């Protein structure tokens, strides 16, 4: 190796060490700002892990930016910036690897991003990135005035994927901020979040295609033909999407309502663009298409009021004091914490049955989302305890058989046989 090359490598190593030292100094100088930013990020759900690792990535990001500046300055003055460029590439690779492991929940997606970063870094370090890009650009297909190459397709896929991921992340953040606005109803919050998501995704798609140089006007005829075909094939999806917007605008069904559709009963947890998520008491999530909620009959237990009346039927014997039974039934209902004091529970005599006097206990609850069977079970148990303490008999079906005439064969005594001799 020549002396000039050794001096150049030594100079670059000194510059790289100085840049990393300067990056640490900038990190210390901006520590308060980055710490406040990490604390604000940690307030959002599923972001605490990102906030805790932000402090480790920030110095490397500063070093990467300074290495890029140093590489450009050295190239401007005619010096060889190869080693500085390699350090910048490795710094960028490390940042991408850390970011992919932190930001992507899917392990397969994170591995794909890491693999692509390793390939690009290896090509850049070996000097094969430019020839590879030229080879990909040479494999092209011309359709009218549109030239599609492999390089263009790869760029479009990468740029669009990054922009789409950013758009979805911003949509999630906007949805979280909208949910914290107390003045908006749940349906307006869901509608606003869905509209923001659609707008951001559409902008990301358009910007991504324009950034890589794809002329959208040249694809107008093709997109129109494809749109007609998709219109017939996706009419159910469009119908569900429009039905979802109608549900959000008219507030007939909103997150937090307890609804009953057919054999499905549960709490509406979310209203999406295509379906509504209903969680039953058994923990199952039912995804009901929005069109079904529009066209079919839906029982909304909390449409205009969260109050719900429940009925508990029971019977007592004919020897019981019905006035006392009614008072004990009302007291038993009032023992449950979920039973409301107003409207007050009432007990009515409904019928004189074959085996018992039938009564009906009615009471109101204000939280049907917490279940119905559990509160009626508590009231039945309170009735059982109260009636046993006060000697109230709970009858069960009994039948009396009366024989008016005994048959002749049964009325004669059976002959007594003598013992064998």
Q: How buried is 252 (Cβ within 10 angstroms: 0-12 exposed, 13-18 middle, 19+ buried)? A: middle
User: Who contacts 87 (Cβ-Cβ below 8 Å, separation ≥6)?
Assistant: 16, 19, 67
Q: Do 43 and 109 share a domain, yes or no? A: yes
Q: Do 89 and 56 share a domain, yes or no? A: yes
Q: Do 93 and 55 share a domain, yes or no? A: yes
How much is the pLDDT for 421?
41
- Is 354 domain-assigned? yes
Q: Do 18 and 97 share a domain, yes or no? A: yes
- Is 243 domain-assigned? no
How wide is the angle at C-alpha 262 spanned by C-alphas 257 and 268, nearest 5°? 20
How much is the pLDDT for 350?
92
Beta strands (DSSP E) in 167-295 are 258-261, 264-271, 275-279, 285-289
Beta strands (DSSP E) in 225-367 are 258-261, 264-271, 275-279, 285-289, 299-300, 308-316, 346-352, 357-365
- Is 421 domain-assigned? no
How much is the pLDDT for 214?
64
DSSP secondary structure letter of residue 355: S
How much is the pLDDT for 55?
65
Q: Does the model's pTM come out above 0.85? A: no
DSSP secondary structure letter of residue 35: H
Q: Do 103 and 38 share a domain, yes or no? A: yes
Q: Do 258 and 348 share a domain, yes or no? A: no
Which is nearest to 212 in space by CA: 256, 157, 156, 266?
Answer: 156
- Is 137 domain-assigned? no
- Is 334 domain-assigned? yes
Q: Do 147 and 107 share a domain, yes or no? A: no
Judge whether 67 and 91 are in contact, CB under 8 Å. yes
Q: Do 229 and 270 share a domain, yes or no? A: no
- Is 132 domain-assigned? no
Domain of residue 116, residue span: 1-127
DSSP secondary structure letter of residue 183: T
Note the Cα 285 to chain centre separation in Å.
Answer: 11
Domain count, the chain: 4
For 182, phi then psi, to 5°, come to: -70, -25
Q: Would you give per-residue pLDDT tens digits along the chain (421 residues)?
A: 677 777 777 877 888 888 888 888 887 787 777 767 666 666 655 555 565 666 667 777 888 888 888 878 887 877 777 787 788 888 887 877 777 766 666 667 667 777 777 777 777 777 777 777 777 777 766 665 666 677 777 777 777 777 777 787 788 777 777 777 766 666 667 777 777 887 888 888 777 777 666 665 655 555 565 566 556 666 777 777 788 778 877 778 888 888 888 888 888 888 877 788 888 877 888 888 888 888 888 888 877 778 888 999 999 988 889 999 999 999 999 988 889 988 899 999 999 988 889 999 999 998 887 888 889 999 999 999 999 998 888 887 767 777 777 766 655 555 656 554 4
Q: How far is CA 296 from CA 247, 253, 261, 289, 291, in A?
A: 13, 13, 8, 11, 8
- Is 329 domain-assigned? yes
Q: Whole-angstrom Cα distance, residue 384 to residue 267? A: 31
How much is the pLDDT for 410?
59
């Amino acid at each position: 190796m020549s002396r000039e090359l050794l001096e150049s490598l030594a100079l670059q190593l000194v510059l790289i060490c100085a840049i990393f030292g300067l990056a640490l100094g900038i990190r210390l100088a901006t520590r308060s700002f980055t710490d406040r930013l990490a604390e604000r990020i940690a307030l959002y759900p599923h972001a605490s892990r990102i906030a805790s690792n932000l402090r480790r990535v920030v110095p490397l990001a500063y070093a990467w930016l300074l290495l890029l500046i140093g590489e450009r300055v050295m190239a401007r003055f005619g010096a060889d910036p190869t080693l500085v460029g390699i350090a910048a590439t490795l710094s960028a690779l490390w940042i991408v690897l850390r970011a992919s492991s932190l930001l992507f929940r899917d392990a397969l997606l994170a591995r794909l991003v890491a693999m692509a970063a390793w390939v690009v870094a290896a090509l850049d370090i070996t000097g094969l990135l430019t020839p590879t890009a030229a080879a990909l650009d040479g494999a092209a297909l011309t359709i009218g005035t549109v030239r599609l190459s492999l390089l263009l397709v790869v760029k479009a896929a990468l740029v669009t994927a990054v922009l789409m991921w950013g758009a979805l992340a911003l949509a999630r953040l906007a949805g979280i901020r909208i949910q914290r606005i107390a003045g908006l109803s749940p349906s307006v919050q869901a509608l606003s979040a869905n509209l923001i998501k659609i707008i951001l995704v559409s902008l990301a798609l358009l910007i991504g295609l324009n950034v890589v140089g794809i002329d959208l006007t040249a694809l107008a005829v093709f997109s129109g033909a494809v749109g007609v075909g998709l219109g017939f094939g996706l009419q159910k999806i469009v119908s569900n999407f429009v039905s979802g917007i109608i549900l959000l605008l008219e507030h007939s069904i909103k997150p937090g309502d307890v609804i009953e559709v057919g054999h499905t009963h549960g709490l509406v947890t979310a209203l999406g663009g295509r379906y509504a998520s209903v969680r039953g008491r058994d923990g199952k999530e039912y995804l009901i298409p929005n069109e079904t909620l529009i066209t079919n009959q839906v029982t909304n237990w909390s449409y205009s009021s969260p109050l719900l009346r429940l009925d508990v039927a029971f019977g007592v014997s004919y020897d019981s004091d019905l006035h006392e039974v009614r008072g004990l039934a009302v007291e038993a209902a009032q023992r449950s914490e979920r039973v409301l004091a107003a409207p007050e529970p009432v007990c009515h005599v409904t019928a004189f049955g074959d085996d018992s006097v039938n009564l009906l206990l009615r009471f109101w609850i204000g939280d049907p989302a917490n279940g119905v069977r559990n509160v009626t079970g508590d009231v039945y148990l309170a009735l059982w305890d109260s009636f046993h303490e006060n000697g109230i008999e709970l009858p069960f079906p009994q039948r009396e058989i009366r024989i008016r005439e005994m048959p002749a064969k049964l009325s004669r005594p059976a002959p007594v046989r003598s013992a064998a001799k």
